[in-house]
Amino acid sequence: MEEKPNEVHYGLEGVYFTDSKISKVDGINGRLYYRGYAIEDIAKYSSFEETCYLLLYGRLPKKEELDSFSKAMAAERDLPDFIMDMISKLSGREKQMHILSAALSALSAFDPETEDQSPGANMRKSIRLISKLSSIVAAIGSAALGNGYTKPSKDLSHAENFLYMLAGKKPDAGKARMLDKMLMLHAEHSSNASTFACLVSASTLSDIYLSVVAGISALKGPLHGGADENALAMLHEIGNPGNTEEYIEQALAGKKKIMGFGHRVYKTYDPRARIIKESLMEIMNSSDEDVKNVTSIALRAEKLMIDKLGKTHGIWPNVDFFSGPVYEYLGIPSGLFTPLFAASRIPGWCAHIMEYWQNNKLLRPLENYTGEIGLKFVKIEDR
């Protein structure tokens, strides 16, 4: 009897591996929901702290609950001296994502509950991870900028504290709110590559720290978290708004990938990109000519790409395309974009890990073997 060939889903495309109540990505209609709430409403009315509570606990908090949660987050911002020394010694020797991965792995040694897998302990560790990962990323960025280490403040919001630690001074309120919105927009996105990597690790019953490190490793790639840095590099390469159309036309003719366009799930405009574009329109009025320049290039490139490939090929701007100019306006160096992505996404990672552990099953997909079988082994002296 002839064996039926195995059906292979390359990249696991179209394969459902679990149930989840955390987020819904509607790629056909360009909609995104966190725990049932539209991303547009979250970006308009919420904060990063409240979004973390929603993702972790599955519901919106009451005011006193949010106040308590925010204080708990703020209380966990400090970093051990060992971690700060590690960041200082690795700065300039390693890429920022390598430093982030090493620092987070080491941080687990300072958590007395690392091996405690109880739900309560995992929730407490999630809060620590969200708070401390942001401090690590800010410290990495500050070291790279030569600003020295600024100890975190317990009196500032999560977004304010990040900018404060990065630059060593309290940030402008408008810029802090802009970063707060960016953090919320990147906080969760279903079973993307980094979230799936977290869950592969977590499914073995590894601890939450190293499961998150697995997610950071997946996030580093230019097809995932590294895309916004490459998109901004392209905008700087174009250099002048008047060069935009010629550059894009030549890139398309040479079949060069335009970073920041197209998405594995969205077949229309990424809803997060629409919201970030609003911030881009705000900074168009900046007095900084470099900011005006890169913003103008981005908007001209977006229009041309939509005319060329949007309606005909379903290739639309994604969250990465507009993120770079906004981060640059906020004073965040491009090498820090992907680590900041990790600091944004960690509440989603932790929420998924804890949810998966409620009905854990070891993730072990099959591969379709296409090699030879039954070869005769020839001893080394006879080869």
CATH number for the domain that contains residue 283: 1.10.230.10
- Domain range enclosing 246: 227-329
Looking at the structure, do residues 118 and 44 belong to the same domain, yes or no?
Answer: yes
Instruction: Read off the pTM.
Output: 0.93
Query: pLDDT-derived band of residue 13, with 50, 70 and 90 as boundaries?
Result: confident
CATH of the domain at 147: 1.10.580.10
Structural domain includes residue 380: no
249 or 51, higher pLDDT: 51
252 or 96, higher pLDDT: 96
Angle between helices 119-145 and 158-167 (to 10 degrees): 30
Q: What is the mean pLDDT of residues 252-266?
A: 82
Structural domain includes residue 364: no
Structural domain includes residue 42: yes
**Catalytic residue IDs:** 224, 263, 320
pLDDT for the residue 33: 98
pLDDT for the residue 288: 78
Looking at the structure, do residues 173 and 260 belong to the same domain, yes or no?
Answer: no
Looking at the structure, do residues 196 and 66 belong to the same domain, yes or no?
Answer: yes
Structural domain includes residue 294: yes
Looking at the structure, do residues 178 and 280 belong to the same domain, yes or no?
Answer: no
Looking at the structure, do residues 200 and 256 belong to the same domain, yes or no?
Answer: no
Looking at the structure, do residues 217 and 268 belong to the same domain, yes or no?
Answer: no
- Name the DSSP class of 206: -
Structural domain includes residue 53: yes
Looking at the structure, do residues 145 and 90 belong to the same domain, yes or no?
Answer: yes
Query: pLDDT-derived band of residue 289, with 50, 70 and 90 as boundaries?
Result: confident
pLDDT at 287 over 90: no
The set of long-range contacts for 305-313, using a CB threshold of 8 Å and a minimum separation of 24, is 305/248, 305/258, 305/261, 308/248, 308/252, 309/252, 309/261, 310/269
Cα separation, 203 vs 211, whole angstroms: 9
As for how many domains the chain has, the answer is 2
CA 15 to chain centre: 22
Contact criterion met (CB below 8 Å) for 101 and 140:
no
- Sheet of strand 23-26, all strands in order from the earlier edge strand to the far edge: 23-26, 31-34, 37-38
230 or 330, higher pLDDT: 330
Looking at the structure, do residues 215 and 234 belong to the same domain, yes or no?
Answer: no
On average, the pLDDT of the chain sits at 93
Contact criterion met (CB below 8 Å) for 351 and 188:
yes
pLDDT at 1 over 60: no
Query: pLDDT-derived band of residue 226, with 50, 70 and 90 as boundaries?
Result: confident
Query: pLDDT-derived band of residue 214, with 50, 70 and 90 as boundaries?
Result: very high
pLDDT for the residue 284: 84
pLDDT at 173 over 80: yes
Looking at the structure, do residues 202 and 254 belong to the same domain, yes or no?
Answer: no
Looking at the structure, do residues 206 and 275 belong to the same domain, yes or no?
Answer: no
Cα separation, 74 vs 72, whole angstroms: 5
Structural domain includes residue 185: yes
Contact criterion met (CB below 8 Å) for 346 and 353:
no
Structural domain includes residue 336: no
Query: pLDDT-derived band of residue 141, with 50, 70 and 90 as boundaries?
Result: very high
**Rounded percentage of the chain residues whose pLDDT exceeds 70:** 99
Query: pLDDT-derived band of residue 3, with 50, 70 and 90 as boundaries?
Result: low
Structural domain includes residue 205: yes
pLDDT at 311 over 80: no
Looking at the structure, do residues 120 and 209 belong to the same domain, yes or no?
Answer: yes
Query: pLDDT-derived band of residue 260, with 50, 70 and 90 as boundaries?
Result: confident
pLDDT at 362 over 90: yes
Q: Which of 71-80, 144-153, 348-357 has the lowest mean pLDDT?
A: 144-153
Looking at the structure, do residues 55 and 200 belong to the same domain, yes or no?
Answer: yes
Query: pLDDT-derived band of residue 222, with 50, 70 and 90 as boundaries?
Result: confident
